[in-house]
Structure 1
């Protein structure tokens, strides 16, 4: 083992298998998932008016997408571990196409929610596959950055596509990931699956737990107790069947759980600010949604591009230093945003308030996108190679659950009576 390998082992980073897929294809395979999260950010009013459902109903479509990627990540990761990359690529692409067709062809709230959920299942499968195929910290950084950069351009891209075409076309943007599927299939030549028995009970318990957790922001009095009860049932099932759908070697790993919890917290903060931004900028500066979308490119693109370099550089510092930096940056973002919003009437110029708010959003984007890549390396580096696919799926489940919470929290804060 050379010195570089020794340093990485000391920091808890797992050595990846030899690379098989070029980095740009991995970025294209993963990145469009963020269109499903961010593209509707400036379209909620249009969706509400077109479908006659109100802004809360329009937000339900984003919540359904968040549910789909949160649930689809561990499900497709389990398929990845048991059937290999090519099987997951085929299933995920089919789900993505089917969900997009429903979104485009059936303009109604039930169809929007169902289509978004199915579309998200496919997007989640392609994203977790891209992370599985990343063979280095550099490639993992590019994958995480692609998600952040697409998320940064998502609101404006969605608004522009909706202006040129329709809002259905804007919601179809995640379909772009299918373009990378042939290249990913060609690059996958070696057997990469580990045969394992099927665990329908474990899968069902996890699916119900994710569903209950996603509903907490909307029905807390019912969903919160249900989530707690299902979590206890799932823990009991893991003890009964430690080699099942949710491997005990992953679920009981304290360092894995800590990395996943921090990723979730950073994601909630980032997506809440992303969806609150148009309302906050309208209140502070009177900007419309298009201008807000253009201005928001700066903080979120900066955070996304910087994350690629920071993730790659993270292998040179200790785990504690990396986590401390993420904690500090992640905590500073909402504090700065809240302070700026509260003190806006006292500030001498509107420009000052806007700049401070954009600085908060830059910190949010930087901490979340960097955290997804850095913490994914940490989370998969503390489990055995045989459980890496499941660990990636569960880690991304934790991060992507924030997609369901962030927009709902932003709506509650900006419209307390909605």
Structure 2
């Protein structure tokens, strides 16, 4: 009887054939050759670090576990480079000074030809434009075959979506929420099949373990002072849309009911100094703590009585998901994807965005309820924990990304 043989590729790391001969699967009559390990680029042009950058690192670690070789493309001196080194990830520096920076294009061209990535996953505006321009240019002149899949992680959309960007520059764009996808598709010229929703994957086990770690001594001392209670935590980059200024107004309004209230806002960013100055102007100096970037931030969240996300714009948000994963009560704005993570009155409270009519009163009322009835608030958070564990599992995010990378792209050669 004639035996027919077929080739089957595996995900085992490649070795030379002299050391690793083809295995024969006699049950299925298949030769099993290993696949060459493939590189993948993750680009990020921000010098600061927040939820978006931490998600990039999670994805890189997840793909490394699946046999890929990830490279983090970032600016020299950026915080993400420091965190990437800690995780044992490869780092390549690119200036990313603006969206059409010629030295960055040349640098990217050299990196692409050197490492031959199977995909380039872009996380910010400047790096996304530069990576797309570079890859398309190299492919057009025949210096890059096959062309890597271009994936854009779009975590916010500051203005009207441009159809060319989404239809031509990238093979697939992922948003972290249905709300942001709907916003992009308000431009009827954007092809719906080019936009997908990929909920962030969160390592809840690691967050729970990190929550037991220590905090900087000065902050630990403030949180250990039982005379400074309750504690409101806010973990977000300092940008106007994150609502820090609004929270100072909320804190001031809550002081008559909770005179020893402590508001701890962890993070870095452009408005931090202005918020510190405003807190002093409002006489809130002893009630406001700005400890800077905390990584991990879980120890702060775990020790808080409530976590807030008072954003005026938020495609999804991460801190409230992590808080619910730790069983900590949350209050969030009714904007973007935040209501996709919290069911108001059931797993937390959803209040009007800072500039909406009645927002201040609504936030004061919601936080007053949480802080006055902590046991009820914890019960709601426990239900929220079950919800986010099912909705934001880490593996589902990694699987979705890998599926896109491995799906044949029309016209790819």
Whether TM-score is above 0.5 comes out as no
Larger Rg computed on CA atoms: 2
Tell me the TM-score normalized by structure 1.
Answer: 0.26
Q: Which has the higher helix share?
A: 1
Q: TM-score, normalised by structure 2?
A: 0.26
